[in-house]
Amino acid sequence: MKQLSLIVFSLMFAMSLIAQPASIQRKKNPYKWMIGISWNVIDDDGNAYSNLLDIPGSWNYEYFPSRLSIDRYLRRGWSLEGSAAFNRYSSSKLINDTTGRSGIFVCADFQVKYSFGRFLRRVKWLDPYMSMGLGGTYRATQDPNFTPLVTTTFGVNFWFARKWGIQVQTAGKLALSLDFFETDADYLQHSIGIIYRFDPKKKSSNRFTKSQHKWLNEKQRYNRRNT
- pLDDT tens, residue order, the chain (227 aa): 445 455 555 555 555 554 444 434 455 788 999 999 999 999 988 776 667 888 888 899 999 999 999 999 999 999 999 999 999 999 888 888 788 788 999 999 999 999 998 888 788 899 999 999 999 999 998 888 899 999 999 999 999 999 999 999 999 999 887 776 667 788 999 999 999 999 887 655 455 445 555 544 555 554 555 54
- State the amino acid at position 172 in one-letter form: G
Nearest to 136 by CA among 110, 113, 114, 154: 110
List the alpha helices (DSSP H) in the chain.
Answer: 3-19, 55-58, 210-225
Q: What is the pLDDT of residue 25?
A: 46
pTM as predicted: 0.76
Q: Within 13 Å of residue 48, how many CA atoms lie on the same side as its CB?
A: 10
Residue 83, burial from CB neighbour count under 10 angstroms (0-12, 13-18, 19+) = buried
Contact criterion met (CB below 8 Å) for 156 and 170: no
Span 3-225 CATH architecture: Beta Barrel (2.40)
Nearest Cα to Cα of residue 71 among 10, 41, 18, 112 = 112
Cα 204 off chain centre by: 31
Cα 79 to the chain's mean position, in Å? 9
171's enclosing H/E stretch is strand 164-175
Domain boundaries, the chain: 3-225
